[in-house]
Amino acid sequence: MRAITSSPVARKGGGRTILAVSYGVVCHALFAVAVGAMIAAMYFGMSRSFGRVAAPWSWVANAALLIQFPVVHSLLLTDRGRAMLGRLAPGGTGATLAPTTYVIVGSFQLIALFALWTPSGTVWWQADGSALIVMVSLYAFAWVLLGKSMLDAGLSLQTGSLGWVALLRGRKLVFPKMPTTGLFRLTRQPIYVAFTLTVWTVPTWTPDQLFLALVFTAYCLVGPLFKEARFRRVFGAAFVSYAQGVPYWLPLPSRLRSRSGRHCEPPAGRVRISRRQG
């Protein structure tokens, strides 16, 4: 891996360090707030938030907050979206900081969604007693499963540290290899499956939570199709071979038993992905 030399910031050690660390602090702070807001808001079935839009416009505002996340999140992965991310950092460092900037934008989106949601005020069901223990356990397990999935996919990429650490070290951005181990042996989309579980295992059910669960589940079923299209371009035959042996979404036992045991990972080492590949 070669040092970044095209950026004015990269040539100034102090400036590069300050910029990288600043982006890192902002990224991880926002990521923590976003995850905390999401866990807390869904625990209460979206019945507690700061939004105060009067009905019926509250549902319009809530729908806009909900839809903006999957739409913008997906658009930023297109060629035009990556170009936009590249302009959100100074001194020619945008390409290197793109993974960090992507997480920053996504965190802002999630904070807005869960903090500005206007609750309907209707609670259908709230677990108590032994039911509360069961539901909280399932909810916690879903989040642990999500964390494990992110770890298997490459935690540095999922949390945004990949970008700012590369800039801090003065190195080119190098993406992790295609994930095929851990939970990726059971399903090609463990992150999306685990995230779906988080929205359906909450101990409080309201119209708000049902609306959110339905939209996010649809996104988790359809969104990975665009991700896999990129993987086919980047990893080629290695991904095709992997996809033939591992189910797309649900880890079906019959599909798993039929795997031939072929080694599906790409060649050893890490994969450098150009802007065009994404």
Q: Which amino acid is at 54?
A: A
Number of H helices, E strands in the chain: 10, 2
- List the chain pLDDT tens, one digit each, 278 residues: 333 333 444 445 678 899 999 999 999 999 999 999 999 999 999 999 999 999 899 999 999 999 999 999 888 888 888 888 888 888 889 999 999 999 999 999 999 999 999 999 999 999 999 999 999 999 999 999 999 999 999 999 999 999 999 999 998 888 888 999 999 999 999 999 999 999 999 999 999 999 999 999 999 999 899 889 889 988 999 999 999 999 999 887 655 555 544 444 444 444 444 433 33
Residue 268 confidence (pLDDT): 41
Residue 258 confidence (pLDDT): 52
What size, in residues, is the chain?
278
The pTM for the full model equals 0.84
Q: Which amino acid is at 152?
A: D
Residue 13 confidence (pLDDT): 61
Query: Would you kindly state where each structural domain of the chain is located, as residue ranges?
Result: 13-257
Residue 2 confidence (pLDDT): 35
C-alpha dist (Å) from residue 11 to 21, 91, 127, 173: 16, 10, 57, 16
Nearest residue to 83 via CA among 95, 65, 73:
95
